[in-house]
Amino acid sequence: MATKSKANKPVTVKDVFKNKFTPYTLLNPDGTLNGPAPDLSPEQLQAMHRVMVEARVFDERAVNLQRQGRLGTFAPLSGQEAAQVGSAFALRKTDWLFPSYREHAACALHGQPWLDILKYWGGNEDGSRVPDDVNIFPVAIPIATQIIHAVGAAWAAKIQGKDDATLVFFGDGGTSEGDFHEGLNFAGVFKTATVFLCQNNFYAISLPRESQTSSESIAQKAISYGIEGIQVDGNDVLAMYQMTKEAFDRGRAGEGPTLIEAQTYRYGPHTTADDPTRYRDSAEVDQWKERDPIERLKNYMISQSIWDDGKEEALWEDVRAQMAKVVEDYEALPERPVEEIFKYTFEEMPWHLEEQLAELKDFIAEYGNPNEGHH
Amino acid sequence: MPHLTLIQAVNDALHLAMKHDDRVVVLGEDVGENGGVFRATEGLHDTFGEDRVVDTPLAEGAILGAAIGMAAYGIRPIPEIQFTGFMPMVFDHMVSHASRLRWRTRGRFTCPLVLRAPYGSGIHAPEHHSESHEAYYMHTPGLKVVVPSNPYDAKGLLISAIKDPNPVLFFEPKRIYRAIRQEVPEEIYEIPLGKAAVVNEGTDVTVITFGSMTHMAKEAITRASEQGISAELIDLRTVWPLDIDTISTSVAKTGRCVIVQEAPRAASFSSEILTLIHEKVFDSLQAPVERVAGFDTPMPYYRMENYYLPNANRILAGINNVLNF
């Protein structure tokens, strides 16, 4: 059901919008294209591929660490790499990314160190302290709340005469929240340069997409806010990049926000605390694995003679070593001082927090560290 | 020096803040051309334009939510919520995000915004227009709560709140929006957050309150003085984090205390003050601390609101109770 391009012109958002209930695929699972390739160099394609592989290996390591009691609850992303990497690849350095809690690949691509992502899930708040030149909002656990924050930041950029755009991720479940409605409505009214990236992975924990909303698509919800909404094959990294890039360009030009429904699938559980076999058939998982986003880009790069099996093998080996080092660094982190609990509540510590910190320190001095040996 | 009402002082502070800092942006329902339902933002739209004084769609949660994104990006939003009764719509973004953005990101992102809302009762308004919600936000780590009691303080406190690097809730007692006029300097000035005002010095009993109840308490202590009672009146001005030194010093001196608030009493402002007094100056107490407050019921509609609200008689009775213990 691919949208074919005409006269060898690239497919635009407008073309896809006309077919709004059909996901747009540019790159087929076998590595062939349905239209002209987006303007990406071999190095850029390889960079996309690398981050997707990093995310896959990171995921595997994190889930294992959690199973061994070395990491807290973790939200795996395997299967959703293209939806994240394709869209985040269209970000400029000064643009802002607003994740929900599963966007490890997008965050890593936009500059959050893998170690910090692991820290966050390891119960270490430092993980959300992104480097000064990296604009990634912290993980937003309350569903869909980040949507309106992203609108506010893009709106602020507009007020300041800057053309920074914002990219906000949420899931199919998030579209049922009031904040989804309010965010898209505000963005439509104020024409903010925001891309609303719904990773529709067809389940909100256990609730299937068709029970979440009776809308035929999530993309169509954009129409009611006077903005454009499109469905994209979320396992197609090239389509994701192409559509997000254009949505940003339009947003920066003052043409307003775009809702992108990226259809994708999580291979694993919602989080490590969940058992997906209670609500999904393994046959369904296998079907999606045949559309694997990493394989698809690999096939394409091989078809373009910019990649080969040897490079692929070397890449996985290199990434495994990289993630082994991330895990090693994570486990070598020192215990943090208890001041950290208090220190960032206000810019200056008020008297009551000074007192409570002193009380905690006295307690530790008298009775020992209650956190000793606790991981 | 101009004589201004509290609402005019708020308006004056907003004009000055916007003039002195072009990052300041006002947003909310009907704040633009209409100048706000109480006219707090009157003239701002004409002076500073629609980019900086924005009429938003009707969604309180989104008003604060958008302001959080704006503040993190680097501008200084002043969202207005039309009445505190609609603050529950705002609660999630205040509690889950505004209050903890600095903490969560170890200071990488901050949320310097001032949420203004007309607050409290006493104007014969419909349901959901008379609430006193300060306790919810005192209970939430990372927020400052300010309630002025007069025009001079309103201006200086609002200027300080706008300059403050933390999120501030600025609750304006609407029953005294136009009840008092006061000389208010034309220039910009600040009243530090976290500093109480000792409105009246006294030696027999300490009355602690804030906002419009300060005026009820003034009336009560005037009548008490006619009975020969010397009452010290503290207007906290900043409800949280509060000025513990002024409270402790006063109660240590008087040994008796009455706390006055409009809100219901359970788990309230007065509960916290009571606890702090016990922690800090228990040895000085000569009588149990008295609370003069609303009741643990929803705020009654306006026909019966005077049964609910503390007044000078109830405060005076409270003063007599602690003195006659």
Q: Cβ distance B323 to B229 under 8 Å?
A: yes
Q: Which residues, at least 6 apart from A177, have a Cβ–Cβ distance to it below 8 Å?
A: A143, A144, A145
A375 pLDDT above the threshold of 60: no
At A220 the pLDDT is: 94
pLDDT (mean) for A143-166: 97
The position carrying tokens 């992502």 is A117
The DSSP bridge partners found for residue A203 are A208
Does A356 share its domain with A220? no
Q: Token pair of B44, please?
A: 């701002």
**Distance separating alpha carbons of residues A289 and B181, to the nearest angstrom:** 72
At A19 the pLDDT is: 59
pLDDT digits (tens, 9 = 90+) for A304-340: 999 999 999 999 999 999 999 999 999 999 989 999 9
Tell me the shortest Cα–Cα distance from A128 to chain B, in angstroms. Answer: 5
Does A276 share its domain with A216? yes
At A11 the pLDDT is: 86
CATH assignment, B197-323: 3.40.50.920
At A16 the pLDDT is: 79
Q: What is the CATH number of the domain that holds A244?
A: 3.40.50.970
| H-run or E-run covering A104 | helix A104-109
**Distance separating alpha carbons of residues A260 and A281, to the nearest angstrom:** 27
pLDDT tens, residue order, chain B (325 aa): 899 999 999 999 999 999 999 999 999 999 999 999 999 999 999 999 999 999 999 999 999 999 999 999 999 999 999 998 899 999 999 999 999 999 999 999 999 999 999 999 988 888 888 889 999 999 999 999 999 999 999 999 999 999 999 999 999 999 999 999 999 999 999 999 999 999 999 999 999 999 999 999 999 999 999 999 999 999 999 999 999 999 999 999 999 999 999 999 999 999 999 999 999 999 999 999 999 999 999 999 999 999 999 999 999 999 999 999 9
pLDDT-derived band at A7 (thresholds 50, 70, 90) equals low
Q: Cβ distance B71 to B110 under 8 Å?
A: yes
**Distance separating alpha carbons of residues A264 and A215, to the nearest angstrom:** 18
Residues of chain B positioned with their CB less than 8 A from the CB of A136: none
Q: Of the candidates A148, A156, A347, which has its C-beta nearest B62's C-beta?
A: A148
Tell me the shortest Cα–Cα distance from A118 to chain B, in angstroms. Answer: 15
- Prior bond of A370 cis (ω within 30°): no
**Distance separating alpha carbons of residues A312 and B263, to the nearest angstrom:** 66
Residue of B nearest to A179 (CA): B62
Residue A75: how many CB atoms within 10 A of its CB? 23
As for the ipTM of the complex, it is: 0.93
Q: Token pair of B48, please?
A: 């500073």
At A4 the pLDDT is: 62
The DSSP bridge partners found for residue A33 are A27
**Distance separating alpha carbons of residues B39 and B180, to the nearest angstrom:** 16
Residue A205 domain-assigned (yes or no): yes
Per-residue CA distances from B203 to B228, B233, B296, B298, B325 (Å)? 11, 10, 32, 36, 16
Residue A2 domain-assigned (yes or no): no
Tell me what the pLDDT averaged over chain B comes to. Answer: 97
Residue of B nearest to A155 (CA): B70
Does A147 share its domain with A110? yes
At B264 the pLDDT is: 97
At B156 the pLDDT is: 98
Residue A1 domain-assigned (yes or no): no
Residue A295's domain comprises 13-331
Which one has a higher pLDDT value, B40 or A3?
B40
Total count of residues recorded for chain B: 325
Q: Cβ distance A263 to A86 under 8 Å?
A: no
Does A247 share its domain with A218? yes
CA angle (A13, A15, A17) in 5-degree steps: 65
At B92 the pLDDT is: 97
What percentage of residues in chain A have a pLDDT greater than 90?
92
Does A196 share its domain with A231? yes
Does A311 share its domain with A345? no
Does A262 share its domain with A365? no
Do the chains contact at A152 and B67, CB–CB below 8 Å? Answer: yes
pLDDT digits (tens, 9 = 90+) for B243-256: 999 999 999 999 99
Tell me what the pLDDT averaged over chain A comes to. Answer: 95
The helix/strand/coil state of B168 is strand
The helix/strand/coil state of B9 is helix
pLDDT-derived band at A12 (thresholds 50, 70, 90) equals confident
Tell whether B39 lies on the interface with A, counting CB pairs under 8 A: no
A2 pLDDT above the threshold of 60: no
Q: Up-side HSE of residue B221: CA atoms within 13 Å toward CB?
A: 25
Residue A8 domain-assigned (yes or no): no
Residue of A nearest to B240 (CA): A350
* Selection from B176, B116, B131 nearest residue B152 by Cα: B176
Does A71 share its domain with A135? yes
Do the chains contact at A151 and B61, CB–CB below 8 Å? Answer: no
Does A284 share its domain with A309? yes
Does A148 share its domain with A34? yes
Residue of B nearest to A138 (CA): B105
Portions of chain B given CATH number 3.40.50.970: 3-183
The DSSP bridge partners found for residue A258 are A195, A228
**Distance separating alpha carbons of residues B320 and A356, to the nearest angstrom:** 35
* Selection from B291, B264, B265 nearest residue B277 by Cα: B291
pLDDT digits (tens, 9 = 90+) for A275-301: 999 999 999 999 999 999 999 999 999
Residues of chain B positioned with their CB less than 8 A from the CB of A178: 61
Q: Count of domains in chain A?
A: 2
* Interface residue of B63, B105, B146 to substitute, partner A, most A CBs within 10 Å: B105
Q: Cβ distance B199 to B214 under 8 Å?
A: yes
Tell whether A183 lies on the interface with B, counting CB pairs under 8 A: yes
The position carrying tokens 């929900």 is A100
**Distance separating alpha carbons of residues B98 and A345, to the nearest angstrom:** 11
pLDDT-derived band at A9 (thresholds 50, 70, 90) equals confident
A224 pLDDT above the threshold of 90: yes
* Selection from B73, B102, B258 nearest residue A349 by Cα: B102
Q: Is A266 a catalytic residue?
A: yes
Q: Which residues, at least 6 apart from A176, have a Cβ–Cβ distance to it below 8 Å?
A: A204, A212, A213
Residue A263 domain-assigned (yes or no): yes
pLDDT (mean) for A204-216: 94
Per-residue CA distances from B158 to B6, B9, B121, B146, B203 (Å)? 11, 9, 21, 9, 32
pLDDT digits (tens, 9 = 90+) for B261-270: 999 999 999 9
Tell whether B107 lies on the interface with A, counting CB pairs under 8 A: yes
A1 pLDDT above the threshold of 80: no
Per-residue CA distances from A63 to A55, A70, A269 (Å)? 12, 10, 10
pLDDT digits (tens, 9 = 90+) for A332-363: 999 899 999 999 999 999 999 999 999 999 99
Residue A198 domain-assigned (yes or no): yes
Per-residue CA distances from A101 to A104, A116, A196, B95, B107 (Å)? 8, 13, 15, 19, 20
Does A119 share its domain with A167? yes
pLDDT-derived band at A5 (thresholds 50, 70, 90) equals low
Does A359 share its domain with A316? no
Task: Report the topology of domain B3-183.
Answer: Rossmann fold (3.40.50)
